[in-house]
Structure 1
Amino acid sequence: MKRDILGGINIISIIKVKQKKMEVLSKGNKGKTIIILSGMGCSFDEWYNITETLAETNRVVMFHRPGLGNSEIRNEPRNTEAVVEELIDLLLVLEITEPIILVGHSYGGLCAQHFVKSHPQKVAGLVLVDSTSEDLRELDELSLPVLNNYDTDKVWLEKCKSYSLMEQEQLKRMINPSIPEKLELIPEKVQQRLLDFLVRPSLYKAMYSEISNWKKDAEMIKSIETTLNVPLIVLGRDKEFSIRLEMQDGLPEEELRVFEEKWEELITRQGNLSNDNKILFVNGSTHYIHIDRPDIVIQSISEIVNQI
């Protein structure tokens, strides 16, 4: 059923989910169960510092979606509905029956919204970390001529298709991955896993499919009309901090401001998902709040734990 890679209560396992091998991280063995869904193209090892702290008093579970890490991918479409089904199956396999605290970053946040709308009885609390919005298409309506040559679905689809056809060594030379400065103190073996994660062609096969489907997914999620009563904390990035960083790459402030103001609006709307909500924009953070400000992510998840 599973193969343990690390011993003790911090275990990375290969588990059969939906008849495919899935790489699962489990830390801690007491308290509430916290499930964290990582962003698109992101490893669960980015969350090392957060999961280490949370696991002191909780059970923390993360998994790599098919194509990510050592999780097996075939030719099925990768969309949020598939993630919902995989999470349901994983909960069964791990014999987790109590309502979970669900955390989702970026695309993982879109998956989390789909899950909680489809299975509200399975979720006791929710934290969205600079999450992709169900109103994602509104970003396409902005007039951003420079940014649209730099960072659009079309650009990323072309890049992912190209990368998915390369050999691992070729990808390594092309991407030349590095460890974010704020993760340089995590164990070397975890750093190496992060570097290896980014040079697997299967990662880009998965991303290609996720990007191809995410706007259709967002519309479908929005069509599920429900208002929850579970504790919800919505975390958004620091608009001004993000603009200043992007300007260092030569991007125009006017376009960045238009984009970031719309993003802030979409983040704020996510509070409507539950009657019991709190919205916080995190100082000194980019889209990767869990790396830039792990303290705030830990604080927010712990606040939900303490409310339940």
Structure 2
Amino acid sequence: MSCRSTWLGEGPRRLVGLADARPLARSDTMVGSWIGRHWATRDQSALGRAADRLTIGQITPALTQGGEMQDDRIRCCALALTVLLLLSGSTAARAQDAPTSPPLPPPGRLVDVGGWRLHLNCVGEARTSGPIVILEAGAGDFSVDWSLVQPSVARFARVCSYDRAGSGWSDLGPQPRTMHQIVYELHTLLEKAGERSPYVLVGHSYGGGLVRLYQFTYPADVAGVLLVEAGADNPWRQTPDKGLVRSSDLATGKPIPEVKTSDPLRNSEIPPRFVTMIRDQVRQLSPHANDPPRDTLPANAQRMRTWSYAQVKMHISNDNPFEAEELGILRAERTRTAHVLGDLPLILLSRGLPEDSSQAGEEEHNRDQAALVAPAATWHGLSRKAQLRGSRP
């Protein structure tokens, strides 16, 4: 495994890294229609047609691998966070048969954020002069997916992972699960838990978009950002009628609902027919909750993932019918300035593509990743064999 980096663009303190790993796979299921009808009935107003497909989550992780590669990945992430902290210092079950109670007690604490509780797990000493590291997992993932990374980071910083509403130990939250809703809930969670800013935000995959939106929404809270194979803000999407299209082609301009500070969805409000509707999909996904390389996670983490993947609440909470519109906001914000975060420290870690990927595919991947840093940015002098280093082109 190699961890590669270079300076990207002409902005100040802009370090970009590349860490080889396997590509992420997405799984979908057809449940959005019921959720859309439920929102419209519950809110007494139509919020727009629900998405045709529900994203269940990332099946291949970004931060766990077996053996030596796993250790290298943890060191790579820890090293990147060390650099960023220095830079920012001055600034197989059936759904209805699955037990509803988690098999293990939460390692952190459950914090009420407005009538529903979110699980927050913070470790490491709080430092008066340094920011707190906040870990935002990818789609379908939650706090246990950072089990191999969080202890390493805790050696030099206070670091918090959490479970978004509906995942892990957290309760169901208000619907719909927009990115704006999730960002509001994270901000409220940290505030109520007494974990004071500034923060270094770490976002993996879908979490990359969430931490970017957090920084746009609460800029005074953020001291730096680390994007770990962050999802592109105009990704390709497979559709039943148009085939493979860009996310921007799916945007209809429908208004994004305002965030809700109360009125979470209750388990008792989920009709049995909905459970039946997703039963087959849950049955297919649950046995794969800990497929390689997640099989290298600690045993308790794997146990929680197996349980979580069998929960209806997790599948409900991974649907966002406003994703295309919200990604459009991120694109607009990204292209508004020469550098996405201005003078704020930003590190990008990318796994790269498999060795057998086409040159064109790798170039497109690199362009998408570079665009997350600056509109006109390009990759400079990267080699699959290069070690972590910082240099201007």
TM-score by length of 2: 0.54
Q: Does 1:64 align with 2:178?
A: no
- Of 213, 216, 219, which residue of structure 1 is paired with 2:322? 213
Alpha-carbon separation, structure 2, partners of 1:279 and 1:109: 22
Identity %: 19
Answer yes or no: is 1:268 the counterpart of 2:370. Answer: yes
2:153: which partner in 1? 54
CA contact (8 A) 1:164 1:203 kept: no
Which structure 1 segments of 5+ residues have no match?
154-162, 245-252, 285-295, 304-308
Decide whether aligned partners of structure 1 residues 258 and 146 sit closer, same or farther in structure 2, where only a CA change above 3 A counts.
farther
Q: Give yes or no for contact 2:146–2:161 (8 Å, CA) kept in 1.
A: no
2:374 counterpart SS class: helix
Query: 1:204: Cα distance to partner?
Result: 1.2
1:237–1:282 Cα contact (<8 Å) kept: no
- Offset of residue 280 of structure 1: 10
- Counterpart-to-counterpart distance in 2, 1:264 and 1:28: 34
Unaligned runs of 5+ in 2: 1-103, 251-272
Alignment partner, residue 110 of structure 2: 14
Q: Give the C-alpha shift of residue 29 in structure 1.
A: 2.4
Between Structure 1 and Structure 2, which shows a larger proportion of helix residues? Answer: 1
Q: Taking structure 1 as reference, are residues 70 and 281 closer, same or farther at Cα in structure 2, changes over 3 Å only?
A: farther
What is the match of residue 51 of structure 2?
A: none
Which secondary structure state, in structure 2, belongs to the residue aligned with residue 56 of structure 1?
Answer: coil
TM-score (norm 1): 0.68
Per-residue deviation, residues 32-62 of structure 1 (Å, max 9, x unmatched): 4100111111122111110011112211111
- Aligned pair in 2 of structure 1 residues 278, 26: CA closer, same or farther (>3 Å)? farther
- Alignment-derived partner of residue 351 in structure 2: 237
Q: What are the equivalent positions in structure 2 for 1:1-308 lying under 5 Å apart?
A: 5=105, 11-31=107-127, 32-136=131-235, 139=236, 165-166=275-276, 173-175=283-285, 176-208=287-319, 210=320, 212-224=321-333, 225-226=336-337, 227-241=341-355, 260-272=362-374
Larger RCO of the pair (alpha carbons < 8 Å, separation 6+): 2
Q: Give the letter for the 1:22 counterpart.
A: L
Cα distance 1:268–1:62, how it changes in 2: closer, same or farther (>3 A)?
A: same
The structural deviation recorded for 1:180 is 4.0
What is the distance in 2 between the residues matched to 1:180 and 1:280? 34
Change (3 A) 1:279 1:100: farther
> Equivalent residue of 1:229, what SS?
coil
**Contact kept in structure 2, 1:103 and 1:112, CA below 8 Å:** yes
Q: Is the Cα–Cα contact under 8 Å of residues 14 and 24 in structure 1 kept in the other structure?
A: yes
In 1, are the aligned partners of 2:109 and 2:121 still within 8 Å (CA)?
yes
Higher gyration radius (CA): 2
Query: Residues 88 and 146 (structure 1 numbering): CA distance in 2 closer, same or farther, change over 3 Å?
Result: closer
| Cα distance between partner residues in 2 of 1:238 and 1:71 | 33
